[in-house]
Amino acid sequence: MKKIAALVLVATFVFAGIAAAAEMEGKIQSIDPMNKELALENGTKLVWDETTKITVEGKEGRLEDLKEGAKVKAGYEEKDGKNVATMLEVSQ
């Protein structure tokens, strides 16, 4: 019985981690470097941190490469009620 309970607990944590990750696409409407936040044209807001991986046209990028109007595909996780970007793939 303890083995079953342990397996259920492990499976819960594994699937919770998978379910927390999501993706979205859109155009960047605005960028707020002070709050480390960008807004997409559909109103969705994403925040970034030092672990966010940025690529521009398939090459390693920097925050300075983010431009309003650019298309972006974002991988993110919800943390403390915010969409925290794990990766930002930018295309012009």
Return the amino acid letter for 86.
T
Position 13 in a domain: no
**Measured distance CA(55)–CA(15) in Å, rounded:** 27
* 15 in a structural domain: no
Residue 83's DSSP bridge partners are: 78
- Pairing type for strands 53-56 and 59-60 reads antiparallel
* Residue whose pair of structure tokens reads 């079953």 in the numeric block: 4
* CATH number of the structural domain spanning residue 73: 2.40.50.320
Identify whether 2 is part of a domain: no
Structure confidence by residue, pLDDT tens digits, 28-80: 999 999 999 999 999 999 999 999 999 999 999 998 889 999 999 999 999 99
For the entire predicted model, the pTM comes to 0.74
Please check whether residue 9 lies inside any domain of the structure. Answer: no
Nearest to 82 by CA among 17, 22, 25, 31: 22
Q: Residue 47: inside a domain, yes or no?
A: yes
Domain residue limits at 76: 22-91
Whether residue 61 is contained in a domain is answered as yes
Asked if residue 7 has pLDDT above 70, the reply is no
